[in-house]
Amino acid sequence: MKVTNYQEPTINPLGKGLGNLPSASVPLDDAGRLEWNLLAEDVSLPAAVLYADRIEHNLNWMQAFVQQYGVQFAPHGKTTMAPQLFRRQLDAGAWGITLATAHQTQAAYHGGVRRVLLANQLVGRQNMAIIAQLLSDPEFEFFCLVDSADGVDQLGRFFGEAKRTLNVLIELGVPGGRAGVRDAAQREAVLDAIARYPDTLKLAGIELYEGVLKEEGEIRAFLQDAVALTRALAEAGRFARTPAILSGAGSAWYDVVAEEFAKASDAGFAEVVLRPGCYLTHDVGIYKKAQTDVFARNPTARRMGEGLLPALQLWAYVQSVPEPDRAIVALGKRDAAFDAGLPEPARHFRPGRDD
């Protein structure tokens, strides 16, 4: 998908304590000409660093993987929230960008993104107003999730008054999981509610997130049920879009989703859209393990050679060594969250030395 009307951002010393700037603000695309050298202490630390060659490798690897299955790709943008990386993902062939909030969607739009899949329910009057305003642009295509008749009614009333048409996907869920309809009765109630707003709400497809399940067998069963449901609704003429969208896949089970959902794509009744986001930066923790699991079970991934590479590091100073076996590094939870494990030391450098 092509990025349009991209608004070039600038950097300034108030946004982040970087290096010396030749003027009050510098276009971000010109930052490379400043020739900052992190190891020469031209940049204030802590600072997150992306490795360009690894980003390029990961970008091309995942795009090639989804192409092997003949499916579409809308990487989750909340991982980086960097419009410059969105541009590269879209230029590489991504169908669109997945996001989590209305505000993220607005930021992506101003970064040039013109197709967004909101992998959440759209709730709250101001959030709806943000999306309604963006939909005044006829080039902007937007999809959000619904899983209750009450939620559908809220969307139907608001967007009806705003005279905007909204594409919705029914979210499927599992007991004890996140959002999503749990059974046929809930699903039928949502379908009936959507039908009450034929000029405002358009049922575009089915969505799920398989990552709430832990075992491959139960994940495949969940995915197969989604394929069967999508086929049944398509044959019954319930979708306003042909082919309907069928979307899933986080960063751990994307290969399994590709295998199961490709059956719907091959049969022609669904346009499959996968949504992993962490692949671009990858890591040395949970996603490294997830990629190892992908290679163990998926021959397509193994045939593609070297897998995803860790492309993001956070550099910081060791500010104190109060004991022989204890170093205090000047970074905290605002710099490196630890909900999925503590940061792992990768490199050590002393200014003035090469080792």
Burial annotation 133-144 (CB, 10 A radius, 16+ → b, else e): ebbeeeebbbbb
Q: What is the mean pLDDT of residues 14-39?
A: 81
Confidence class for position 340, pLDDT limits 50, 70, 90? confident
In angstroms, the CA 228 to CA 309 distance is 35
- What local confidence, expressed as pLDDT, does residue 338 receive? 83
- Say what the pLDDT of residue 355 is: 53
Percent share of the chain, pLDDT over 90: 78
pLDDT for res 4: 61
- Report the percent of the chain where pLDDT is more than 70: 96
Determine the Cα angle at 63 with ends 60 and 67, to 5°.
135
55 falls in which pLDDT band (50, 70, 90)?
very high
- Per-residue model confidence (pLDDT) at position 5: 61
As a whole number of angstroms, the distance between CA 182 and CA 169 comes to 15
| CA gap 36, 47 in Å, rounded | 12
Q: Position 51: which residue type?
A: Y
* pLDDT of residue 3 exceeding 70: no
Q: How far is residue 28 CA from its own chain's centroid?
A: 23
The C-alpha atoms of residue 23 and residue 30 are separated, in whole angstroms, by: 12
Cα separation, 73 vs 96, in Å, equals 7
Which residues are bridge partners to 167 per DSSP?
A: 143, 202
pLDDT at residue 26, as a whole number: 86
pLDDT(101) > 80: yes
Confidence of residue 337 (pLDDT cuts 50, 70, 90): confident
As a whole number of angstroms, the distance between CA 19 and CA 36 comes to 7
pLDDT band at residue 35, thresholds of 50, 70 and 90? confident
Considering only CA atoms, give the Rg of the chain.
22
Judge whether residue 8 has pLDDT over 80.
no
- Confidence (pLDDT) at 219: 98
C-alpha–C-alpha distance, residues 351 and 335, integer Å: 22
Task: Express each pLDDT in 225-266 by its tens digit.
Answer: 999 999 999 999 999 999 999 999 999 999 999 999 999 999
- Burial degree of 299 (CB within 10 A; 0-12, 13-18, 19+): exposed
pLDDT tens digits, one per residue of 140-153:
999 999 999 999 99
- What mean pLDDT comes out for the span 46-50? 91
Per-residue pLDDT band for 7 (boundaries 50, 70, 90) equals: low
Question: Which domains are assigned to the chain?
Answer: 1-45 (no CATH), 52-303 (3.20.20.10)
Please tell me the least confidently modeled range out of 33-42, 218-227, 252-261, 320-329.
33-42
Residue with tokens 């092997």: 68
What pTM did the predictor assign?
A: 0.92
Q: Is the pLDDT of residue 195 over 80?
A: yes
pLDDT for 19 beyond 80:
no
User: Mean of the pLDDT values across residues 318-325?
Assistant: 96
DSSP class of 179 = S
Task: Decide the pairing of beta strands 10-11 and 26-27.
Answer: antiparallel
